[in-house]
Amino acid sequence: MYLEKSLVHKIIDKTLMKINQHQNGVTTFFDNLILQQGEAFLKDNKYDSEILERVLEIVTITGDRRFVNLSDRLINMPVSSLDNFSRVCSQGVHNVFCWQGKPLFKSAYDLAIYHMMISEIRPATIIEIGSTEASLCWLKDITDLNNLGVRIIGIDQIQPRTLPKDVEFRRGDIGKIDYLLTACFIETLPRPFLIIEDAHVHLKRVLQYLGFLMLEGDYLMIEDSILKQDELKEWSLTQKNILVDTFYTDFYGINGTSAVNSILVKKEANNAYA
C-alpha cells in the first residue's frame, strides 16, 4: 500500500474520534500503534513502514460497510490478519481453555466474539451442530449472564454425560441433519436463530439444509473454516441474501477469528446493506 499523508491524517482523526466518543478517552493497543506510527510518519520521523502499511490496510478494509455479500467476500478477502502460529495457539498451548473445569475448544478470539454477538443479536434459539458438554454449559452460562431465555439445542453423535438445565440435545448422524432438525420442529422454535457449525463433517449437506431453514435476522457461524472456503464458495452460489457480518469477522483484524469469512446473517434484499 502506498502511504499518503492525507490517508494517514484521516485514519488518525477517525481513531481519535473513536477514542473520545466511544472509549471515554482510553486507547487500545491498536489505537496506540496507529497514533504513534502515523504521527511519526507525518512528522517525517522514524517509523516502521511495514507495520504502518499493515495497520492502514486493516483500518481501510474493516472501515467499509458492515454487511457484504458472501460470494464477493470469498473472492475479495481470502486472507486473515492472524498468522498461522497465532491461530494455532489461540485455543491454548500448555493446556486447553476450560469452562467449569471441562475442555472448551474455542479460540480466544471466538470466545470474545460470541459474547458480543449474543449480547447484540439476542438470539431466541441457539443450535450448535457438533456439541460438547463444555460448549453447552458455556452457551447456557453466557445467555444467562445476558438475561436471555434462550432455547439451546445441541447436536452430535456423542451424548454428553450431563446437560445444563433446560438445554436440549439431539443425538444422531449429522449427515442426516434434516431428520435431526425437521422442518416441522424448526417452525416451533423462536427467532432469531444463532446456528453454530462446529462438526467438521458433512459440511456440504449441512450448509444446504441451513440455507433452507434460515430466515431474516438468523445468524450462522461456521467455525474453523479456513479450510472450508471451497465448500463455502460452492454453497454461496445457491444462496440469496446471505451476508458476512464484518463487524465480527474483522473485529480483531481481517478475519481475526476461526470463522474466516463465515459469520453470516440472512437479510432480505431491502435490508441487505443496512
> 135 and 190: one domain?
yes
- What's residue 46's pLDDT? 86
> 25 and 113: one domain?
no
**What's the CATH number where 104 sits?**
3.40.50.150
> 45 and 75: one domain?
no
Domain boundary among 14, 36, 62: 62
Number of domains in the chain: 2
Give the confidence band of 269 by pLDDT, cuts at 50, 70, 90. low
Check residue 16 and report its DSSP letter: H
**Cα–Cα distance between 181 and 33 in angstroms, integer?**
47
83 class by beta-carbon count within 10 Å (0-12 exposed, 13-18 middle, 19+ buried): exposed
Which alpha helices (DSSP H) does 95-221 contain, by range? 108-121, 133-145, 177-180, 183-187, 203-213
Give the confidence band of 271 by pLDDT, cuts at 50, 70, 90. low
> 74 and 186: one domain?
yes
Dihedral (Cα; 15, 16, 19, 22), 10-degree rounding: -80
Considering Cα of 70, then 73, then 78, then 79, what sign does the dihedral take? negative
- What's residue 61's pLDDT? 80
> 185 and 234: one domain?
yes
Share of the chain above pLDDT 70, in %: 97
| Domain of 225, in residue numbers | 67-271
Considering Cα of 243, then 248, then 254, then 257, what sign does the dihedral take? negative
> 75 and 35: one domain?
no
**pLDDT, tens only, 108-154:** 999 999 999 999 999 999 999 999 999 999 999 999 999 999 999 99
**pLDDT, tens only, 193-239:** 999 999 988 999 999 998 888 999 999 999 999 989 999 999 999 88
